[in-house]
Structure 1
Amino acid sequence: MENNLEIKDKFIDRTEELKEEKSFSQWREMWDMLKQNKTAIFGMIIIVILIIIAILGRYIMPYDPNVGELSQSLQTPSKLHWFGTDEQGRDILSRIIDGTKISLRVGITAVAFALTIGTVLGSVAGYYGGKIDMLIMRFMDVILAFPSLLLAIAFMSALGRGIDKAIIAISIVTIPEYARIVRSSILAVKESEYIQAARVIGNSDSAIIFKHILPNVISPIVVRATLGVSSAILDTAALGFLGLGVQPPAAEWGSMLGSGRGYFFNAPHIVVFPGIAITITVLAFNLFGDGLRDALDPRLRN
């Protein structure tokens, strides 16, 4: 009896080793293929630059982003103010640099929160099934029945204005996307042999889910999270444009568009440069996410 148990333990250990080796090999192949995708690398470079700007922004801003002179208002781009000034005489370049930190913070934090909650809910629904699955997924369907931006506006109206409230509202409306992806991925692998072997040796359900299942279905989750950051940044800008997101005098790209829309014909640079910043950021995350999706697709690797 003891010999049989030893053989079974060795078999499980060897299975885990082979699984880890296969996982490492797949990630290496993914990186090799990602490097061949020039648009994805371009997007990744832009993301790295944006992160550096967000971290070092206060050291590279030419002016205080929240202080201006009315006598300098609505100036066109010049040597002193590369992107011009807004209606209050504040330097637009400095405000865009400062807004990078806010947009990335909201986008990444909202996705991280939604990903965590969605992964837990999707894992429980997919692994246990039955009434638990039906209850969780029907609740997710209710949230998905409403347009995400409209629902975020409703949450902002209830929670109040501010960056923390924006993070909560955006994350709540995106939880169902991650829950559905995780659930479908778990349903595809939960009856695999290595999962059954993990049950035989007495692993708990939580250990099976987070140690054996999720590491093997992480690819679609990572891709969706990358693309989700761009969606979160767009939602943040939309809330700011409507006056529901980050409040003045904080420099947020959407609020800059909202406050400058009345000067579009007299001083178009007020809205052009924040709009370009939003476009470049969203495009960078989308390009990198698309390239990551292609690199993680085993059919394309083969």
Structure 2
Amino acid sequence: MECESAKQASQIEVKRNNFFFLKNAFEVILKNKAATLGLCIILFLILISIFGKFIMPYNPYLGNLSDSLKAPSAAHLFGTDEQGRDILSRIIDGTRISLRVGVVSVAIALSLGTVFGSLAGYYGGKVDLIVMRFMDMILAFPSLLLAIAFMSALGKGIDKAIIAISIVTIPEYARIVRSCILSVRDSEYVQAAKVIGNSDSAIIFKHILPNILSPIIVRATLGISTAILETSALGFLGLGVQPPYAEWGSMLGSGRGYFFNAPYLVWFPGIAITITVLAFNLFGDGLRDALDPKFRK
């Protein structure tokens, strides 16, 4: 009974400490104006991606050739493209696609990278050598170039773009997780977990990973902006999300031929990409300051 009471008290204390830690981190983010701005923009983009279909002034996939290449006006705030489709509606619809690719690709890369990095960092030796040399092979190629190669092999489409971007970013998370595990592998609480008979998987996922989440979360937040940029680059080259989907990169690629007579075809998708990437970077920097005491001012 006393052991059970001590265990429950310990769990309550851990939850209490986690609550105050998160509260303090949130307060640090709110004091950082740049991070707060980034968070507000991200929340706005999420709302747009969820409720965008209710606020689109036009169908983003239907156009009228008689309205093609019309400059921004009261009827079409961002103008129309070469097929007469409303650019504002396509930008709104593209928010959902870009966030989907960014979040899902990072989630897949983070999951696989965590597994590989945990195995390499915890077991070391030959396991570490094999896993990390494989990660180094992937890192030896520029990520965009490797993503283009995977897209050429897999084909075009949203799902293929997610897979390609996920594969090329796995090594980043694997290296971060490995380095974090190496720093705590010999800690007292890990040794205590071994002594009481916990399995290796329980030690890794119940004891080690919860204590090294901060750098992983920060890198994942910044990784979403990188994934969105790579998605846009693939779309610009005609290898990513394919028409009629309104992806920002493909909109840039189709509008570059009209840069001099209809520059707004390039301006607005480019501004959307810039604002989104900047928002995730600002929030990621603020999150780093909030979660890592070394960066707090």
TM norm. shorter chain > 0.5:
yes
Shift of 1:12: 7.3
Shift of 1:35: 1.2
Within 5 Å, which residues of 2 pair with 1:259-274?
A: 259-274=254-269
Q: Quick check: 1:149 aligned with 2:110?
A: no
Preserved CA contact (<8 Å) 1:15 1:194: no
Which of 130, 136, 140 does residue 135 from structure 2 map onto? 140
Shift of 1:187: 0.6
RMSD over equivalenced CA pairs, Å: 1.7
Cα distance between partner residues in 2 of 1:300 and 1:139: 32
Question: Paired residue for 1:129?
Answer: 124
The size of the alignment, in residue pairs, is 297
Q: Could you list the per-position Cα deviations for residues 25-45 of structure 1 after superposition, in whole angstroms to 9, with x for gaps in the alignment? A: 332221121110011011001
Question: Paired residue for 2:76?
Answer: 81
Question: Paired residue for 2:42?
Answer: 47
Question: Paired residue for 1:62?
Answer: 57
Letter of the 1:50 partner, please give it.
L
Cα distance between partner residues in 2 of 1:292 and 1:25: 16
Which of 239, 248, 253 does residue 248 from structure 2 map onto? 253
Cα distance between partner residues in 2 of 1:232 and 1:175: 12
Question: Paired residue for 2:160?
Answer: 165
Which of 224, 227, 232 does residue 232 from structure 1 map onto? 227
Letter of the 1:78 partner, please give it.
S
Q: Quick check: 1:116 aligned with 2:111?
A: yes
Question: Paired residue for 1:215?
Answer: 210
Letter of the 2:105 partner, please give it.
A
Cα distance between partner residues in 2 of 1:15 and 1:124: 29
Shift of 1:22: 3.8
Runs (5+) with no aligned partner, structure 2: none
Cα distance between partner residues in 2 of 1:181 and 1:23: 22
Letter of the 1:278 partner, please give it.
I
Within 5 Å, which residues of 2 pair with 1:3-14?
A: none
Within 5 Å, which residues of 2 pair with 1:170-181?
A: 170-181=165-176
Preserved CA contact (<8 Å) 2:288 2:295: no
Structure 1 pair 21–130 and aligned structure 2 pair: CA distance change class (3 A): farther
Q: What's the TM-score once normalised by structure 2's chain length?
A: 0.96
Q: Quick check: 1:105 aligned with 2:111?
A: no
Cα distance between partner residues in 1 of 2:18 and 2:261: 57
Cα distance between partner residues in 2 of 1:166 and 1:229: 14
Which of 287, 291, 294 does residue 296 from structure 1 map onto? 291
Preserved CA contact (<8 Å) 1:68 1:90: yes
Letter of the 1:91 partner, please give it.
D
Letter of the 1:145 partner, please give it.
A
Structure 1 pair 171–92 and aligned structure 2 pair: CA distance change class (3 A): same
Letter of the 1:86 partner, please give it.
D
Q: Report sequence identity in percent.
A: 71
Runs (5+) with no aligned partner, structure 1: 1-5
Cα distance between partner residues in 2 of 1:84 and 1:101: 20
Cα distance between partner residues in 2 of 1:261 and 1:70: 19
Shift of 1:123: 0.6
Letter of the 2:99 partner, please give it.
L
Preserved CA contact (<8 Å) 2:104 2:162: yes
| 3-state SS of paired residue (2:61) | coil
Preserved CA contact (<8 Å) 2:190 2:208: yes
Letter of the 1:24 partner, please give it.
F
Preserved CA contact (<8 Å) 1:29 1:301: no
| 3-state SS of paired residue (1:207) | helix
Cα distance between partner residues in 1 of 2:15 and 2:207: 10
Cα distance between partner residues in 1 of 2:42 and 2:280: 7
Q: What's the TM-score once normalised by structure 1's chain length?
A: 0.94
Question: Paired residue for 1:3?
Answer: none
Question: Paired residue for 1:190?
Answer: 185
Q: Could you list the per-position Cα deviations for residues 60-82 of structure 1 after superposition, in whole angstroms to 9, with x for gaps in the alignment? A: 10001011111101000000000
Letter of the 1:127 partner, please give it.
Y
